[in-house]
Amino acid sequence: MTLQLLALFALSLFLAACEPAPSGDRADDAQAQAEAARERLSESEGGRLVLRAIEAQGGLEAWYAAPTSSYTWEYANTGSDLQFETLLVADNRSRQVYHDILSAGPYGDPQPVEGRMAWDGTEAWIYPDTLTQINPRFWATTGYYFEQIPFVLADPGLRYELLPPDTLDGQTYEMVRVGFEPGVGDAPGDTYTLYVHPETGHVGAIRYTVTYGRDVDPDQPPSETLFTYEDYVTVDGLTVPTRFRGYAFAGGGRGAFKNEAWADSISFRRPFDNAKLRAPEGARVAPPPGR
């Protein structure tokens, strides 16, 4: 996967993996993590809006009690002529992720493949190495973080800015911009602007910027992509979208279509197999951006 492709569709990797939670009763531990996150989010108006979205979609306690996130993730991009589908399983505590790659190929014509990729907390790899369009350092966690907004936005190391309400497709939304503290992740210059429905509290869309692998000129902010969140379902107490559509953000609204994604077979209880984090012989390890 080239940096040009990354510029078409990106979400920052929170690659500074979270420390594993201490042993002990999971319910008590989830409660303690939820209380710490609630205190963190309550410190600002923007954080309180993110907290409202989290509570509307299941709540901090349910999120921290969920050991894993797992689903099929299918992504298609017209401009980059790419479409692929994986079954991913993520450890919600360590943020390690592995995938079985089910299909990959040009837009509209992906072919069945037998592949794997993973992020083990230090390195990202993909197998076989002939899957050259897919950069595992980017893609191993991208689908996870897209699906788990707003929950992952309770992480430490984030900044929240409440924005004036805005309208999208005739609906007025409450708005908050989320950014990273310096040095967090592979793309600390990225920002994510959430459209929070004033009645349901659900995230209706996000806007995001792309800084992965690029130097950012402060006088020329990167362009934004609008990504809609649709067709919500509730699984294991958490409410998440199953359909995503991406557009250029132009003139304050929806521009040209860019990409789309689907999530299916969702579970927050699938077992995590640590053996699948180990790269097989012949896997390609992806270096950090700029190396």
Report which DSSP code applies to 201: -
Residue 178 lies in a domain: yes
- Read off the pLDDT of residues 263-275 as tens digits, 9 standing for 90 and up: 999 999 999 999 9
Secondary structure element (H or E) that encloses residue 280, with its range: none
Report which DSSP code applies to 214: S
Residue 291 lies in a domain: no
**Is there a contact between 153 and 178 (Cβ–Cβ < 8 Å)?**
yes
Residue 287 lies in a domain: no
Residue 33 three-state SS: helix
In the predicted structure, residue 127 carries a pLDDT above the cut 70: yes
What is the pLDDT, as a whole number, of residue 260?
Answer: 97
Rounded Cα gap, residues 155 and 140, in angstroms: 19
Q: Is the dihedral of CA 244, 245, 248, 250 positive or negative?
A: negative
In the predicted structure, residue 257 carries a pLDDT above the cut 80: yes
pLDDT band at 69 (very low <50, low <70, confident <90, very high): very high
88-97, 124-133, 176-185, 277-286: least confident range: 176-185
What is the pLDDT, as a whole number, of residue 271?
Answer: 98
Of 155, 195, 198, residue with least CA distance to 60: 155
| End-to-end C-alpha distance for the chain, whole angstroms | 15
Rounded Cα gap, residues 289 and 214, in angstroms: 8
Q: Kindly report the CA angle at 229 between 236 and 184, in degrees rounded to 5?
A: 85
pLDDT band at 289 (very low <50, low <70, confident <90, very high): confident
**Is there a contact between 177 and 46 (Cβ–Cβ < 8 Å)?**
yes
- Read off the pLDDT of residues 6-48 as tens digits, 9 standing for 90 and up: 333 333 333 333 334 444 567 789 999 999 999 999 999 999 9
**Is there a contact between 223 and 208 (Cβ–Cβ < 8 Å)?**
no
Residue 263 lies in a domain: yes
Q: Is the dihedral of CA 258, 187, 127, 21 positive or negative?
A: negative
What is the pLDDT, as a whole number, of residue 252?
Answer: 86
Residue range(s) defining the domain that contains residue 30: 3-13+24-278
Residue 180 lies in a domain: yes
How confident is the model over 246-252, as a mean pLDDT? Answer: 91
- Read off the pLDDT of residues 171-227 as tens digits, 9 standing for 90 and up: 999 999 999 876 545 445 679 999 999 999 999 999 998 655 444 455 556 689 999
Residue 235 lies in a domain: yes
What is the pLDDT, as a whole number, of residue 182?
Answer: 63
What is the pLDDT, as a whole number, of residue 221?
Answer: 63
Indicate which CATH number applies to the domain containing 142: 2.50.20.10
Rounded Cα gap, residues 174 and 159, in angstroms: 17
Residue 129 lies in a domain: yes
**Total structural domains in the chain?**
1
Secondary structure element (H or E) that encloses residue 119, with its range: strand 111-119
Residue 119 lies in a domain: yes
